[in-house]
Amino acid sequence: MATELEELLDFLSSPSPPVKRAAVDIVRGLTGSEDGMQSLAKYSNVLLPKLSHLLDDPKEVAEPAAESLVNLSQNTDIAGLMISMGMVKTAMDHLYKPESAITRLLVMLLVNLTQLDAGISSLLQVEDEKMHGLYVMKLVRSFCRSPNEKQGDPFEHVGSILVNISKMEAGRKFLLDPKRGLLKQIIMQFDSKSSLRKKGVSGTIRNCCFEAENQLPNILLISEFLWPSLLLPVAGNKIYRQEDTSKMPRELGTALSIEREPVTDTEIRVQALEAIYLITLQEAGRRAFWSINGPRILQVGYEDEEDPKVMEAYERVGALVTGNSGEAAKEHAVTSPPVIALQFVIAMVVLDTWQYFMHRYMHHNKFLYRHIHSQHHRLVVPYAFGALYNHPLEGIILDTVGGALSFLVTGMSARTSIFFFSFATIKTVDDHCGLMLPGNLFHIFFRNNSAYHDVHHQLYGSKYNFSQPFFVTWDRILGTYMPYSLEQREGGGFEARPTKEWKDD
């Protein structure tokens, strides 16, 4: 005995239009839920051909049938079955029928099907030499046609299809074929007010630029249209001066010398920068980029950028076009918080080690102490502004060289180093401030603090407590650690003094 679902599928072929319409409406409702999709998936071999046939019916039946196919195609297995049944051809055939009322839905169906490699191959018609690429050319032509105000923009989702196609090498090569000129036509749609079209164009350009190593001449062949579509989204909001625009192509320079509507979609800006990066990976691409004053545009755009992801894309391109691609790659590779935290710890150990031994040596070498390090020890009672009051040579030896070693050993990026050295400087200032304030995080997390370093600045402690600026480890290991206690002063506050056994010594 047939199940209810099997009976429902039979009704899709009913000669009665009302029955057929009711049945397809129920199917559409089922495809809108996960449970319904799972139930229908069991009958895919029967259901898909029936829905396909309904696309020829009037709008009240064809539309829910098309919606059902769009929903079903979100399931990868069902989408694969659709492709094997020739659904791409079916969609294209119905797409260009006169007075088609389901154009937008058929385009969305193709978007889902081309997310699979088999769907891309089917749309490209790779197995048919005579028809190869005909479907894609028809879609591009429709995409580039001005939208009809009455019908809206049923082909705007073609941009997503082009993005999918360009993910496959065969698709990129087809779009980049200079004889067909498809990419040029696509790029010209970047001026559209539709954000969906813009995103489709930028994604297609970015994907096509993966062929820059072998296809750079074909890419630069349309540079008159390419550069504005890539650079205007990342040029910032400023109006450029004539001295900048005079070095740019006319169209680009004109657009940048007037007020313009900013591209607010971060994904488009990132895609544009990634495309520029792929082009400038090639020497000829870098020369072309410099010839249009591209680095200046990136510089101005970067100043206006606030999104971290987009800023990172700017920095990656900037490092490449200025000759520091190795640094860019390194910085890109060490941005995760655990790596940065590890670099901080290693840098602290390296800096502590260098400063301990150099600091101790300056105390034991009478010449270095008398002529260099004694300048800092004029501060018997340290205070914050005196933290870096020292001889220039001491600053170079202890701070500059020690900092450089920390930077090089850890391999931290320039951005990470800014935070590390700022942290180290603030810690050094706090160590010399002469205050033990409640809740001071440096005193909570570090034994090497203002009291510990105050002891070193006293006459009895000048041969002890050399460690700085983070830990007391080397003092403990090498016997130069002087324990202390905080004692209340008559006038208020505390005073750091050696413990009793050290006083006796």
* Whole-number Å distance between alpha carbons of 60 and 440: 73
Checking if the pLDDT of 54 tops 70, the result is yes
- pLDDT for the residue numbered 459: 65
- Whole-number percent of the chain with pLDDT over 70: 90
Tell whether 321 and 342 lie within a shared domain: no
Checking if the pLDDT of 1 tops 50, the result is no
When pLDDT is cut at 50, 70 and 90, the band that residue 151 belongs to is low
When pLDDT is cut at 50, 70 and 90, the band that residue 267 belongs to is very high
Tell whether 431 and 500 lie within a shared domain: yes
Question: Max CA-CA distance within the chain?
Answer: 111
Checking if the pLDDT of 330 tops 50, the result is no
**Average confidence (pLDDT) over 342-365:** 89
Q: List the single range of 18-27, 358-367, 368-377 with lowest mean pLDDT.
A: 368-377
**Average confidence (pLDDT) over 451-469:** 74
Count of domains for the chain: 2
Per-residue pLDDT tens digits for 83-119: 999 999 999 999 988 888 899 999 999 999 999 999 9
276 contact partners, CB below 8 Å, separation of at least 6: 230, 231, 234, 289, 294, 298, 317
Residue 317 lies in a domain: yes
- The residue that leads in pLDDT, 496 or 240, is 240
When pLDDT is cut at 50, 70 and 90, the band that residue 328 belongs to is very low
- Is pTM beyond 0.85? Reply is no
Residue 497 bridge partners (DSSP): 485
Say how far residue 175 (Cα) sits from the centre of its chain. 26
Tell whether 229 and 303 lie within a shared domain: yes
- pLDDT for the residue numbered 385: 67
Tell whether 390 and 472 lie within a shared domain: yes
Domain that holds residue 440: 337-504
* Whole-number Å distance between alpha carbons of 92 and 123: 9
**Contact indicator for 453, 432 with CB cutoff of 8 Å:** yes
- pLDDT for the residue numbered 381: 65
In this structure, what token pair is assigned to residue 229? 């579509």
Tell whether 343 and 275 lie within a shared domain: no
* Whole-number Å distance between alpha carbons of 434 and 382: 6
Residue 252 lies in a domain: yes
Residue 4 lies in a domain: no
Tell whether 304 and 341 lie within a shared domain: no
Residue 80 lies in a domain: no
Tell whether 311 and 342 lie within a shared domain: no
Tell whether 329 and 348 lie within a shared domain: no
- The residue that leads in pLDDT, 148 or 56, is 56
- The residue that leads in pLDDT, 451 or 191, is 191
Give the dihedral sign, CA 389/391/394/396: positive
- Nearest CA among 164, 159, 155 for reference residue 106: 155
Checking if the pLDDT of 309 tops 50, the result is yes
Tell whether 273 and 361 lie within a shared domain: no
- pLDDT for the residue numbered 75: 93
- pLDDT for the residue numbered 326: 46
Q: What is the SS3 assignment for 484? A: strand
Per-residue pLDDT tens digits for 427-451: 888 877 777 777 777 766 777 777 7
Tell whether 311 and 229 lie within a shared domain: yes
Residue 203 lies in a domain: no
- The residue that leads in pLDDT, 443 or 502, is 443
Mean pLDDT, all residues of the chain: 86
Tell whether 305 and 362 lie within a shared domain: no
- The residue that leads in pLDDT, 331 or 67, is 67
Residue 451 lies in a domain: yes
Tell whether 327 and 377 lie within a shared domain: no
Per-residue pLDDT tens digits for 399-423: 889 889 999 998 888 888 999 999 8
Per-residue pLDDT tens digits for 274-297: 999 999 999 999 999 999 999 999
**Contact indicator for 301, 314 with CB cutoff of 8 Å:** yes
